[in-house]
Amino acid sequence: MKMGFGLFTTFKTHPGEQKALAEILLESAAALEKEASCMAYIVGISEQDENTVYVSEIWTDEGHHRAALDNPNTKAIIERAMPLIEKVERNKELEVLGGKGL
C-alpha cells in the first residue's frame, strides 16, 4: 500500500561550501515543521566527501512536494542556496510503502 512520495537528492557544493549549504537546508527543514504533507525532511553531510550534502524527503504525495517548491519562503531559501551548489543529482524518486516512523 502506497504511503507517500519519497525523494533522495545529492548536492555537490563548490569547495568549502558543504556546511553552509547544510545550514540553509536545515532552515528549510525547520520551515517545513508545520507542513503536514511533509512527513520527513532529513539533511546529512558526507564524511568522505567534504563537498556533498544529502537530503531525504517523504511527502504525502508528489503534488504537495511540487506545491512546496512554489512557496515564496521555499523559493527564497533555494535562491540563497543556489550559489553554493555545483551540481544537483536527483538520485531516486520512490513510492513510499512504510517503515519505522511512518
Determine the pLDDT at residue 92.
Answer: 78
In a domain, 17, yes or no: yes
Give the predicted TM-score (pTM) of the model.
Answer: 0.89
Distance CA 51, CA 24 (A): 15
In a domain, 101, yes or no: no
> What angle, 0 to 180 degrees and rounded to 10, lies between the N-to-C axes of helices 18-31 and 72-81?
170
Determine the pLDDT at residue 93.
Answer: 83
Beta bridge mates, 94? 6
Dihedral sign of CA atoms 21, 26, 90, 81 in order? negative
Determine the pLDDT at residue 100.
Answer: 78
In a domain, 67, yes or no: yes
The answer to whether 11 touches 28, Cβ cutoff 8 Å, is no
Determine the pLDDT at residue 94.
Answer: 83
In a domain, 61, yes or no: yes
In a domain, 100, yes or no: no
Determine the pLDDT at residue 3.
Answer: 85
CATH number of the domain where residue 20 is located: 3.30.70.100
In a domain, 81, yes or no: yes
In a domain, 96, yes or no: no
In a domain, 66, yes or no: yes
pLDDT in tens, the chain (102 residues): 678 999 999 999 999 999 999 999 999 999 999 999 999 999 999 999 999 999 999 999 999 999 999 999 899 999 999 999 999 997 778 888 888 777
Q: What is the count of structural domains for the chain?
A: 1
Residue 99 region by backbone torsions, left for phi larger than 0, else alpha for psi between -120 and 50, else beta: left
Q: Which domain holds residue 19?
A: 10-91
